[in-house]
Structure 1
């Protein structure tokens, strides 16, 4: 089978142009799949409302730091160690806020900016989904 480099290049360009993480192309018995690992995504100034029994308890605004992958969230580098972040703690851009482990690979999740931790939205050892809000900073 001859590899069509032009087609692959076009698929990769489409990934970038349409901000996709994965693209698949099939024709007869040929199947091409291109993908890229996405970076941590965040929304600037979202508003999160926490409710209990239909009563508004708290509204949090700030920058959401979301999980870049599906995996298990760890709040500290090892069991019993000091947590990376806690509510009220000041952090700097690039500081690790959490580790998300997937397939025995530890993925450090960095802070996208300087700020103060408003909330930590996951428990240590909790399974997380892609795009799930892990931490909110302001």
Structure 2
């Protein structure tokens, strides 16, 4: 199999320009897959604030570049990923949590949809 270094170079540039972490190209019997490590940025999720212990993240994440001071919103819980937040399990049903309610470690507060995957 003959590797086209120019194609690999162009795909690598495309990864950098678009911010993608992986790209795969098939052309006949030739298949090229490039991937790179993504830089992880942790952002504060817009959730209802309640005094609680932070939920344990499934994977360690790098701290945000400009972390929000605790004095701004001491009850805020940071999401381990960026995505669409759903406050109830399905449209029209009761929310997982209400403002001012006590929460326990491991309790589901919302669902974050990231890349078509629902993450409690």
Smaller-chain TM-score bracket:
0.3 to 0.5
More strand by share: 1
Q: Kindly name which structure, 1 or 2, has the bigger radius of gyration based on alpha carbons.
A: 2
**TM-score, with length taken from structure 2:** 0.46
